[in-house]
Amino acid sequence: MSWLARIVRFLFWLLIVSWSVALLRRLVGWMLRKATTPEQGHEDADGAGAEQGSAQGGLAARRLVRDPICGMHVAEVLAVPLREGGELVHFCSSTCRDTYVSGSQQRMAANG
């Protein structure tokens, strides 16, 4: 009978641990979503309310851009932008941005 009690106790703790992990994942997911949502109640430059700004901010937060150096996909709001020759290029870090800038300078020196 003791082996049956051990199995029941194991299943009980397995259930408790799995529920705890699921609850922790939901809590962390909620905290991350809360941290990435734009602030509500702010006014845009053209006087539009928070409704339009939050809708645009939500779309920008979901848009992924690709780093041309390492190929990593990054959320547009978290990316490091660089405007070069009328083109906006996004990077995952300042290191990749600096590599891109130094590489373009080397290409210009070689071409000209």
pLDDT at 44 over 80: no
* b/e 80-92 (16+ beta carbons within 10 angstroms → b): bebeeeeeebbbb
pTM for the full predicted model? 0.43
CB 68 within 8 A of CB 36: no
Report the alpha-carbon distance of residue 75 to residue 10 in Å, rounded.
42
Residue 63 or 55, more confident = 63
Please report the pLDDT score of residue 32 as a whole number. Answer: 85
Q: CB–CB of 17/10 below 8 Å?
A: no
CB-based burial of residue 97 (10 Å sphere; 0-12 exposed, 13-18 middle, 19+ buried)? Answer: buried
Integer-rounded Cα radius of gyration of the chain: 24
Residue 61: band (very low, low, confident or very high) from pLDDT cuts 50, 70, 90 = low
The mean of the pLDDT values for the chain is 78
